[in-house]
Amino acid sequence: MILAFESSCDDTCVAIVKNGRVLANAIGSQILVHRKTQGVVPEVAAREHAKNIKTVLETCLKDAKLKLSDITAIACANQPGMTGCLLVGSTFASALAALLNLPIYEVNHKLGHVYSCFLERERQEIKFPFIALSVSGGHNELYLVEAVGKHTMLGSTLDDAAGEAYDKVAKMLGLNYPGGPEISRVALEGNPKAFSFPCPLPHQKFNFSFSGLKTNVKYKIQELSKPLNPPQVSDIAASFQHCINTNLVKKTLKAVQAHQAQQVHLVGGVSANLDLRKKMQLACTPIEVLTPQEFSFCTDNAAMIGVVAELLAPKHQLSAGDMVQV
């Protein structure tokens, strides 16, 4: 029974996981606070975590109908992310582990996303080797996973992550934060062929780069008459979404072919994007594409931190009071 914490960015998350099942997944969202600045100010986010973490823990225990005395291990995200934010979660988790005399697993946030398709799934559903495309606001990577604990990063972004590009383009178009869901909403009304943006970093197999695409969108917006009318906003959003998603799919497919992957796991906040899911499945057929079982397991959550601790626990055999980084 693992109590997990995740506080690397703008969501205060606490979850309880047992045998891959999510008994509770509480999320204290800070979106309304960060909307005022159209993005996350790290110190503001850290203070919000400190203010909310105890309440989110109480909600989590109440949702699971459990008490702290039922918990057998603690897990928390320890990197990467905003330092002040991570420290709130990991200090709170360590204090709790010391108080309850429980082992604590400090988990790399990125691995949480990589293994997030294990949540609420039978283990036989996962086929190795699989390629994980992890796309979010802070990171954008391709992994080869040959077995639990045997994961290799094949490539990553050289500049912006896909989610970051979605957020920045949304800001240019006058849309709300976070930009990904907003772009996909307005893109439904737009024509993905209205504007043709050049394919980013076509010659590198597994690395990504989205800052050039972002600049191309900026120039296109400057070229059009101001203020943009709603059909123009929709057309730019649809064309940008088409370009970035096509690029993500192309590189994933290359990795699948290079490593004879049996499955693709599309994970991270941007994996909530329906156009990306559709394009990925179409390109990878007959290889199966898995996405996290719930949309709340795509964006940052603590359940994915708990499942990594659980999956890697047999390797470490921790006793009460022990700590390990995984």
- What residues make contact with ligand KG4 under the rule CB under 6 A? 9, 136-138, 163, 166-167, 178-181, 184, 268-270, 272-273, 299-300
Q: Which of 102, 104, 109 is nearest to 83 (CA)?
A: 109
The torsion angles phi and psi of 126, rounded to 5 degrees, stand at: -90, 125
7 binds Zn ion (CB under 5 A): no
Task: Please choose, from the candidates 16, 142, 8, the residue with its C-alpha nearest in 3D space to the C-alpha of residue 67.
Answer: 16
CB of 310 to Zn ion, least distance (A): 19
Q: Residues 25-60, buried b or exposed e (16+ Cβ, 10 A)?
A: bbbbebeeebeeeebbeeebbbbbbbebbeebbebb
Interactions with Zn ion, residue window 220-279 (CB under 5 A): none
Q: What minimum distance in Å lies between the beta carbon of 267 and ligand KG4?
A: 8
Assess 141 for contact with Zn ion (CB under 5 A).
no
The answer to whether 136 contacts Zn ion (rule: CB under 5 A) is yes
Looking up tokens 């699989």 gives 130
Cα–Cα distance measured from residue 291 to residue 66, given in angstroms and rounded to the nearest whole number: 29
To ligand KG4, the closest distance from the beta carbon of 163 in angstroms equals 3
Q: Give whichever of 163 and 306 is closer to ligand KG4, judged by the CB atom.
A: 163
Residue 100 CB, shortest distance to ligand KG4, in Å, is 28
- Stretch near Zn ion under the rule CB under 5 A, chosen from 21-29, 68-76, 90-98, 299-307: 299-307
Identify the CA nearest to 217 among candidates 235, 191, 190: 235
Which residues of this chain interact with Zn ion, rule CB under 5 A? 136, 300
